[in-house]
Amino acid sequence: MGVHEPSRDRCLGLIEIDSVPSGLACADGLVKEAPVRVLASRPITPAKYLVIFEGDVESVRRCLARARELAGGRFLGDTNLPHPHPELLDGLQGRMPKTEIDAVGILQTTTVSSCLQALDAALKEGEIHLLELRLAMGLGGSAFFSVTGEVSQVGVAMEAAKRVAGAAAADSVVISQPDPEFHSFLQEAPSPFTDLI
């Protein structure tokens, strides 16, 4: 699933559940509902469960509906994201190629689903590139991403991301010229919590 144009019918689905047992039942139920490819299915902090998957638009819609039904009161949130940006899909698999760092934008959200929606909006809005994506582990269930590009493009992209994240946007910043000595931390953050995907 490298960097390429997604098919017109490609769709990303995500569901967050506030219980590990219920999350496992939802994961089982959604893969039985329609043909989808699971990208991640696992417990996340704090004691929640996350399933991320892809498929055609109709399959993802059916799977999310089934998972919500199974989750009941344990349902926390979901994402139905048609035509996800290729760099978002690569980021979910930990594939973020080295790129020149110019200005940097960072957004933290209170949920994984809002982070992915905001990142997709940012990547589609500005001529920017993904630097880092961290989801839930070691963040108390929160998530964040960082992107780089010309300062004007990063600013536009971050505004789009904050609009999409809405109340789930916890904090954000644009660093116009990060110090070169700081670049390695932006591209190779020494986090022990890189194992989500």
Q: Are 187 and 130 in contact (CB under 8 A)?
A: no
Q: How far apart are CA 194 and CA 197, in angstroms?
A: 8
Rg, the chain, Cα only: 16
- Residues in Cβ contact with 24 at an 8 Å cutoff, skipping those fewer than 6 apart: 49
pLDDT band at 188 (very low <50, low <70, confident <90, very high): low
Query: How far apart (Å, rounded) are the C-alpha atoms in residues 7 and 193?
Result: 31
Residue-wise pLDDT tens digits, 59-107: 999 999 999 999 989 998 899 999 999 889 888 877 777 778 889 999 9
Residue type, 28: D
For the chain, what percent of residues have pLDDT higher than 70?
A: 88
pLDDT at residue 187, as a whole number? 66
Segment 139-166 shows an average pLDDT of 92
pLDDT of residue 193: 40
Instruction: Write down the pLDDT at residue 151.
Output: 93
Percent of the chain with pLDDT over 90: 57
The arithmetic mean of pLDDT across residues 17-45, rounded, is 92
pLDDT value at 2 more than 50: no
pLDDT of residue 173: 92
Rounded distance, CA 54 to CA 77, Å? 17
Query: Which one has a higher pLDDT value, 68 or 180?
Result: 68
124 - beta bridge partners? Answer: none
What is the model's pLDDT at position 195?
53
Encode 97-128 in three state secondary structure: CCCCCCEEEEEEECCHHHHHHHHHHHHHHCCC
Q: Is the model more confident about 47 or about 4?
A: 47
DSSP 7: P
d(CA 167, CA 162): 9
Average pLDDT, rounded, for the chain? 85
Other Cβ atoms less than 10 A from the Cβ of 161: the count is 27
CA-CA-CA-CA torsion sign (93, 56, 35, 135): positive
Q: Which residue has the tokens 């982070």?
A: 115
Residue 54 has pLDDT above 80, yes or no: yes
End-to-end CA separation in angstroms for the chain:
14
Structural domains of the chain ordered from first start: 10-82 (3.30.70.1710), 95-186 (3.30.70.1710)
pLDDT of residue 91: 84
Please list, in sequence order, all residues whose beta carbon lies within 8 angstroms of the beta carbon of residue 96, skipping any fewer than 6 positions away.
87, 90, 130, 131, 132, 133, 187
Average pLDDT value for residue range 128-147: 86
Global pTM value: 0.84
